[in-house]
Amino acid sequence: MVLTDARRAARTDHDGSLVPLADQNRELWDRAAIAEGQQLLIRTLGAGPVGPYQIQAAIAALHDEAPSGADTDWPQILALYDVLTQIAPSPAATLSRTVALAMVHGPTAGLAALGTLDRDERHAHGHRLEAVRAHLLERAGDHAAAVESYLRAARMTASLPEQRYLTRRATELNTPHSPAHPGRLA
């Protein structure tokens, strides 16, 4: 929890809008909390059987240690999610593993994995599966389908900040010359 909370100051921007992990200003992350979390993790590893909390902490530590989103050790994160989904399966772990899979093997691999989750009733009433699909479609260059998925995810969540974020992503993809649009002017 310390490792995840260390990123709290960067999760929203000046007007309260959500900032995805990859876009966060890492200078706002609490380095003292990260160091504390890493020490706690090191003390627990090898002290007994490894459980889901240690694996989740190790994943958070890998995110926290990366100097940028591009420098994140996604293969190691994927390997940790492989273990987590085996010892403590959950919809959140499975979906997070799919994101890590896409970061390692590309958005098409992630979209293929998402296709298997569509039949999982545990994802049917939440917006996260559709939000991940939108992100992966965007990364794959299918902006029309990404817009539809972002808007569908926005309709599925009760969280106003998430609704605003998802709607904004759809609008940016639909707007020529926006930062998210491939035809934008430099």
Q: What is the pLDDT of residues 27-41, one digit of tens each?
A: 999 999 999 999 999
Q: 168 pLDDT band (50/70/90 cuts)?
A: very high
Does pLDDT of 186 surpass 70? no
- The span from the CA of 166 to the CA of 151, in Å, is 7
Find tokens 């590893």 and name the residue: 45
Torsion of CA 123, 106, 72, 7, to 10 degrees: -30
What pLDDT is attached to residue 67?
Answer: 92
Q: What is the pLDDT of residues 22-75, one digit of tens each?
A: 999 999 999 999 999 999 999 988 788 889 999 999 999 999 999 998 899 999
Q: How do the domains of the chain map onto residue ranges?
A: 1-72
Global pTM reads 0.87
Q: What is the 3-state secondary structure (H, E, C) of 102-138?
A: HHHHCHHHHHHHHHHHCCCHHHCCCCHHHHHHHHHHH
What pLDDT is attached to residue 185?
Answer: 31
- The span from the CA of 35 to the CA of 2, in Å, is 9
Q: What is the pLDDT of residues 84-137, one digit of tens each?
A: 999 999 999 999 999 999 999 999 999 999 988 888 888 877 899 999 999 999
Q: Retrieve residue 72's tokens.
A: 């994140």
Terminal CA-to-CA distance of the chain, rounded, Å? 40
Give all strands (DSSP E) within 3-153, no chain letters: none
- The span from the CA of 161 to the CA of 159, in Å, is 6
